[in-house]
Amino acid sequence: MVNMLKKAWTEVVKPMVQRPDRVQVAAICFQGTGADRKVLLITSRDTKRWILPKGWPIDGLEANAAAAQEAWEEAGVKAANINPEPLGSYDYDKRMDGGGIVSCATQVFAVEVDHLEDSFPEAQERKRKWVKPREAAEMVDEPGLQAILQQF
């Protein structure tokens, strides 16, 4: 009975009442179509795990434009087209600079890449890699992001 109550709390009640603390925006930067489509992953600054360019909303910018700005700063992406509607969203726990952890809901926008610059604000802090969406899904840690990449 205790296990059933724990499962009900974890899978039903908790997701309904617990909301993310913060919102972020992310960019699935891509080139190509169909079987030739590739997405761009970058490494995080601290743990060096593979992620999408992402960050906090920017005052004065729509969410999709803020995602494109993050793609420029973190990956050197010059965008050709930015979808105004998110492809989806995923939740993850972000470790803050002070050591605390906040729950984030991240909206993901498709950003078609015109070209990549070699010189960009965080060039010395990150690596970039073009991969097929399904391969990208295997490289990232967040289950919600994995699902978005598999469908992309």
Domains and CATH numbers, the chain: 21-151 (3.90.79.10)
Q: What's the average model confidence in pLDDT over 102-113? A: 94
Q: Is the pLDDT of residue 138 over 80?
A: yes
In sign, the C-alpha dihedral spanning 58, 21, 128, 27 is negative
Indicate the pTM of the whole model. Answer: 0.83
Higher pLDDT, 8 or 98: 98
pLDDT band at residue 100 using 50, 70 and 90 as cut-offs = confident
pLDDT band at residue 19 using 50, 70 and 90 as cut-offs = low
- Across all residues in the chain, what is the average pLDDT? 90
How far is residue 82 from each of residues 17, 61, 90, 95, 126, measured CA to CA in Å? 33, 13, 19, 28, 23
